[in-house]
Structure 1
Amino acid sequence: MRADDLVIFDADAVRAKLDYPNCIRVVREAMAALSAGTTRQLLRTMIGMGPGRTFAQMPGALGDDDMFGAKMISVFADPASPGRRRHRGVVVMFEPEQGRPVCIADAEEITLIRTAAASAVATDAMARPDAKTLLILGTGGQARTHLLALPLVRAFERVLIWGRDTGKAEHLAREFNATLPVEVATEVEAAAREADVICTLTGAVQPVLLGDWVKPGTHINIVGSSFAGPVEVDTALVARSRYIADSRASALEAAAEFLIARDSGAIEDAHLAGEIGEVVLGRIPGRTSPDEVTAYKSLGHAVQDLAAAAFLYRSSLTR
């Protein structure tokens, strides 16, 4: 393959070539670079297309002399699964010497994989080293990718899956029970009280996880809500936790549970302790004590997608 070819990665190609160890590595590097100021991105822009339908654009550059591009997606309600939304679109990459477009990749698959990779980076940086029980709240695509990514950074001895539809939770458990010690949780509160790491991966508009349920030392990845409005966790959990985001600017604009807690007077902007990239860089700690509750807010940002697509493109040139 020539370096000036336009390479296209459809969904199958992304799944086949964007492996989790490498995606975790490039996402970790991208988040550190964002916090260091060596990459640039704009806040996502969204155009409402009617109820349950949004068009979003996320441009960014991996560096002055590195690849740049944009993620363009439609976020539409999935009529086959009420309460769920599909993220369909493309990531378009340009090379830095002549500004030629060189890569187009399926955005939905990149989003699924890189979001789980980002949660793995945060879990590795913030969760207790002895974390043994993982709780997955949700049964959709993000639940599946998180079950593939998080065991790469912690040796979980028990994995609990909870969903509003117990049948879907059981189906997901059967899919993974050959490789993970998976159980279906029927009561979210009881499961939360046992977990060391919790991932909220739902389409909930009201909290499904409460601060009173979380034991000391737990780490939470808050992933499902990516814009101001719907929330998965309550104000008590936000106020109780060491709260770190993937992007400070994005969190102050769109982290719904943080904004609700702030507007209620429970916290101030300073409660946002920093970015996960700052933790990776060693500028701030991921946790300050074994009993501290830590929370990572995943909103997703362009350089994560661009780093994943750049990895795909560069890997194609070596084959």
Structure 2
Amino acid sequence: MKDRNTSRADRHGLWLDLAMVVLMIAAFGWLAFGPGFAFATSGIGALLAFPFAIGALYARRMYTADDYPLTGCLIIPVALLVAILAVVWLGGFEGLICIAMILPLWIVGGAGGAFAVYLLRYTAGDGDADSGGARLNSVGLALAPFAIIWAEMTAPAPWEDRIVSRSIDIDAPPSEIWPYLVEIPDIAENEGRRTFTHDLLGVARPREARLVHRAGLLVRKARWGRDIRFEEIVTKVVPGRSIAWLFAFPDDSIQRYTDRHIAPDGPILKLVGGGYDLHPREDGSTRVVLSTHYRMRSRLGWYLGWWGERTLGDIEENVLAIIRDRSGNVTDRRS
């Protein structure tokens, strides 16, 4: 009779943990893709606590096994989290750039949750994974990430201002380079340089930037790939020396064709402005500096800031390479 009761408790505990995992994934999906919850997916709760809880719930299930290998404890929950992200990407729900940003944190969180429970079992010895207290722990683990997400939404992180700059030395005077800072028409697909952001993460490459006059303003109208459009409202022009602008986004083409959670004027990220500066050098060459100013807020600013530096830096280096090649040899730029 005792064995039968134990077996029944094991099954009840297993189904409870499975139900907690399913409910967590469903609730997280609602937060990630539901209306008005964009900010919920950028903090500690979503990026670390959620995978930690998934890993811990799986490791808790391993209590009932006679053999409790550390490798299985770590690998299986991580594989589950990777599979979730793969389904999200293959289903077209998320762009590759967002998946790449989430994946390292989810691996660390999932493995960390499983390892924490493993250590608790190792130090505390055998225990009943399906006792009343253990079942309460399952519910607590499932609710903890959403409690953290709610706290982060209630008291959001402050905005941080960041500037990403890249430079290139071009063997030409400022007068030959300046026209390509003002506008660059008909950019071929093979212009520029190979980058991690464009070639691996799939961010579209620039196709043109044209200067137009509108309502007394100078506006650089940019098009990237076939579908992405945005504008740069020129705020300062010193011919042959510098040009600066503020970004404007007349539609949602950036998030629609890149990643829905990377809105350039949203609750997490705001692309503010940018500009070029030309610095003549004594040897007759010119140093061109391209800068981008953006604002972001997240409890994980140190991590997301690294991605901002990497992706925006790649984009700037590609644009500077196009300017260099056109300034040096316009006729051969399509070869």
TM-score of the two chains, using structure 2 as the length reference: 0.25
For the pair shown, which has the larger CA radius of gyration, 1 or 2? 2
TM-score of the two chains, using structure 1 as the length reference: 0.26
